[in-house]
Copies of this chain bind each other. A is one copy, B any other.
Amino acid sequence: VIDPDSGWPAWRQLADQLRGRILGGELQPGQALPSEERLRQETGLSRNTIRRAILTLRAEGLLLVDPPRGTFVRQPEEVTTVDVSAGTVSARMPTPDERREFSVPEGTPVLVVDHGGGQTSTYPADRVALRVTPGDPPENAS
């Protein structure tokens, strides 16, 4: 169902279709995607093009790869809520160092809380949410 004349790149059409099947619930969290070879047969695209689409969805945080077992729909992680009563919150993609340090998977941002005075806390955004509280709370992070 990929149309080369649609004006959209084939890899993008495939990524859109797979994303739709994931967000639509047809492909459930934890479930394996069809293998690259299977997708190649189904779509008629080259393996490179298949991989380009999958790479995109990995960067979007929708897929995780466990080679050579397969490619899987991301499971939502258990979210820890951290209280914040003052400071500035921003988000960005982590550096590779930060990805190792905080075990941040592909396609996952980090939340950065600037407490002022050069004091910041960094959290993996797939496992941490920040609760904004009017009171004054404790803190725990690096």
Contacts and interface: CB of A to CB of B under 8 A. Distances in A.
Contacts of A89: 84, 89, 111, 129-132
Interface residues of A, number: 35
A10 interface: no
Do most interface residues of chain A lie in helix, strand or loop, or is the interface mixed? mixed
Contacts of A59: 59, 93, 107
Interface of A: 16, 19, 23, 55, 59-61, 79, 81, 84-93, 95-96, 107-111, 125-126, 129-134, 136
12 contacts: A55-B55, A59-B107, A85-B132, A88-B129, A88-B130, A89-B111, A89-B129, A90-B130, A91-B91, A109-B125, A132-B132, A134-B134
